């Protein structure tokens, strides 16, 4: 499997960007500067192959005159004000496609954060929207989410703080609920995670749809880190009903990118392999996704 080895994109410790990134929903009414646009273009051109090797493509879209209301009717729960543009992406219509999409899009989000550009992931039903028309998405592609972007307004609206409160955005689950060793009955603390404590903390700070934080990671005796998706009850039914894609698969890709970027920056090499741990039975509502195998 390919790895994120060629990306040294940030010029600043990636953990700083991970800590700095928060969803920004109100922007200054200014366009992205030509230098920053140039930087974004170059960054997109240099994106690595994602872990599962599926095809993902991105397109930066400045809203045109006729489509100031590009998000209208798309059911995104946070109302977005004055975006300077959107990063849209299309992926293969599969679980792996959604994971690869999350992984690469989040790498782009961190790059934008480094440029001082605020972002907000927006999940919705984009596959049949104006975004899809602009991207010329094919029948084989999904547009699972877009990211709104712009320089953050000095003062966020009260509305934004309601959205943050509604989603509990400032809270993250404690380590004891997210990370485990050997099986899911024993939790892992930063001391037990040894060199991986920062990479796991980077996962804990990741954004996720409705801030559900569905990532669970199991450190095996041999030192492999197994990534699982914890299904929220009723989530699949609800999203299907709303005509939305399984964004928790994209959440997993986001977690993988935070983990790998921090691990590599700390000089820890490894690769993604499909090698589920031999725990039986896998607890209910947990889906095995991928393993990070240190070298």
Ligand X SMILES: Cc1cc2nc3c(=O)[nH]c(=O)nc-3n(C[C@H](O)[C@H](O)[C@H](O)COP(=O)(O)O)c2cc1C
Q: Which is nearer to ligand X, 206 or 218 (CB)?
A: 206
| Residue 22 makes contact with ligand X by CB under 6 A | yes
Secondary structure of residue 110 in the 3-state scheme: helix
- From the list 169, 230, 262, 291, which residue makes contact with ligand X (rule: CB under 6 A)? 169
CB of 103 to ligand X, least distance (A): 12
- From the list 27, 101, 103, 121, which residue makes contact with ligand X (rule: CB under 6 A)? 121
Tell me the window of 82-90, 126-134, 162-170, 284-292 that interacts with ligand X (CB under 6 A).
162-170
Write out the binding residues for ligand X, residues 205-264 only, by CB under 6 A. 207-211, 247, 250-251, 254
- State the residue number with the nearest CB to ligand X: 78
The tokens describing 265, both together, are 């920056």
CB of 215 to ligand X, least distance (A): 11
Q: Which is nearer to ligand X, 225 or 250 (CB)?
A: 250
Q: Across the strands, what pairs with 149? A: 85, 119
| Residue 163 makes contact with ligand X by CB under 6 A | yes
CB of 133 to ligand X, least distance (A): 20
Distance of CA 104 to the CA centre of its chain: 8
How far apart CA 37 and CA 28 sit, in angstroms, is: 16
Nearest by Cα to 84 from 130, 150, 153 = 150
- From the list 9, 51, 78, 253, which residue makes contact with ligand X (rule: CB under 6 A)? 78
| Residue 145 makes contact with ligand X by CB under 6 A | yes
Q: Across the strands, what pairs with 87? A: 60, 147
Nearest by Cα to 95 from 263, 261, 252, 211 = 252
- From the list 5, 68, 72, 77, which residue makes contact with ligand X (rule: CB under 6 A)? 77
The tokens describing 286, both together, are 């947990």
Helix (H) or strand (E) holding 286: strand 286-294
Tell me the window of 41-49, 74-82, 190-198, 287-295 that interacts with ligand X (CB under 6 A).
74-82
How far apart CA 130 and CA 49 sit, in angstroms, is: 27
Nearest by Cα to 206 from 93, 295, 110 = 110
CB of 164 to ligand X, least distance (A): 6
Q: List the helix and strand counts (H, then E) for the chain.
A: 10, 11
Note the residues at the interface with ligand X (CB under 6 A). Answer: 22-23, 76-78, 120-124, 145, 163, 167, 169, 207-211, 247, 250-251, 254
């Amino acid at each position: 499997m390919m790895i994120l080895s060629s990306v040294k994109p940030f010029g600043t410790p990636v953990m700083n960007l991970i800590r700095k990134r928060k969803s920004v929903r109100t922007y200054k009414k200014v366009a992205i500067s030509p230098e920053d646009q140039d930087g974004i273009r170059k960054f997109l051109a240099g994106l690595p192959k994602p872990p599962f090797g599926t095809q993902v493509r991105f397109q930066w879209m400045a809203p045109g005159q006729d489509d100031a209301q590009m998000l209208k009717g798309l059911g995104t729960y946070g109302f977005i004000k004055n975006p300077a543009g959107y990063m849209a992406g299309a992926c293969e219509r599969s679980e792996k496609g959604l994971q690869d999409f999350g992984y690469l899009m989040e790498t782009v989000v961190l790059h934008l954060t480094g440029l001082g550009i605020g972002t907000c992931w927006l999940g919705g039903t984009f596959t049949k929207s104006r975004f899809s028309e602009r991207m010329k998405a094919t029948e084989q592609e999904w547009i699972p989410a877009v990211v709104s972007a712009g320089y953050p307004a000095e003062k966020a609206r009260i509305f934004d703080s309601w959205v943050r409160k509604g989603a509990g955005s400032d809270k993250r689950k404690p380590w004891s609920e997210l990370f485990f060793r050997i099986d899911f009955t024993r939790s892992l603390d930063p001391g037990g995670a040894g060199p991986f404590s920062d990479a796991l903390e980077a996962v804990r700070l990741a954004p996720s749809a409705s801030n559900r934080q569905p990532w669970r990671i199991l450190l095996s005796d041999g030192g492999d880190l197994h990534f699982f998706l914890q299904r929220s009850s009723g989530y699949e039914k609800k999203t299907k009903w709303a005509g939305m894609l399984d964004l928790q698969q994209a959440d997993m890709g986001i977690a993988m990118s935070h983990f790998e970027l921090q691990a590599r920056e700390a000089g820890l090499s490894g690769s993604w392999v499909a090698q589920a741990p031999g725990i039986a039975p896998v607890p209910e509502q947990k889906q095995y996704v991928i393993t990070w195998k240190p070298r």
